[in-house]
Structure formats: structure tokens, C-alpha cells
Structure 1
Amino acid sequence: MLLAHQGGWDEILFALSPLVVVAGLLALANRRANAAQAANRTANGTSVPGDIPPTPDASQR
């Protein structure tokens, strides 16, 4: 099938298709890495740094 010079839309597809595929793969990898990291934290009993309560300062001791 010949898709040469079809008003420019085919060139846009040839340029954007790989970018969309790479962006989708990066999003998928990021989602899987975040899920694995959360599962690892749960299995190890560790918490997220934001979950650690602040330590009292010297005036509250």
C-alpha cells in the first residue's frame, strides 16, 4: 500500500506513531515500577517517607 504524499497526514503519522508507542511504554513501565515498589514496601513493613511522623522539637520534650 502506497502512502506517499497524501496531503501530509501520512508523514505526521510516521513521525508521531513511534513517539506515542514510546510514551505508552514509558507510562506502562512507570506504573509497573510504582506498583512493584509499593508491594516491596508493604512486604518489608517500611513506610513512605511522607508517612513518618515528625520528631518533636526541643521545646516539646
Structure 2
Amino acid sequence: MGLKTFWKDNKVLIVVGTSLGLVHWGWYYLKSSPIFQVKTENIVPDPGILPFMMQSDRKNKEK
């Protein structure tokens, strides 16, 4: 079994497998890049949840 027959028999598998591997590698590279990381220190909580949490804390302390 030579390289030519291997290529002819498995052309689709080789091309699709290589493409899929490169796409996944690129996606992983983009996700791990510091440019695209979300900075958690600048995130402000939703203003609607803060009063609710404060009320529930007061209710729990009163019990």
C-alpha cells in the first residue's frame, strides 16, 4: 500500500480530519488569548439583585 493509494482511499478523511483539528486548535488559541479574556474586577452586579439580596439578608438576621 503506497502513499498514492492511501491518499486516494482516505482523501476525504484526511482533509476533513486535518481541517477539524486546525479549527479546534484555532478556537482554543483564541479562547486562551489574554486579549479576549473578560476582566472580572470591572463587572458591576445587576442593580436589581443588590436590593433583593440586602432584603433577604435582613430577613435572615431578624429570624
Whichever structure has more helix as a proportion of its residues is 2
Q: Which has the larger radius of gyration?
A: 2
For normalisation by structure 1, the TM-score amounts to: 0.50
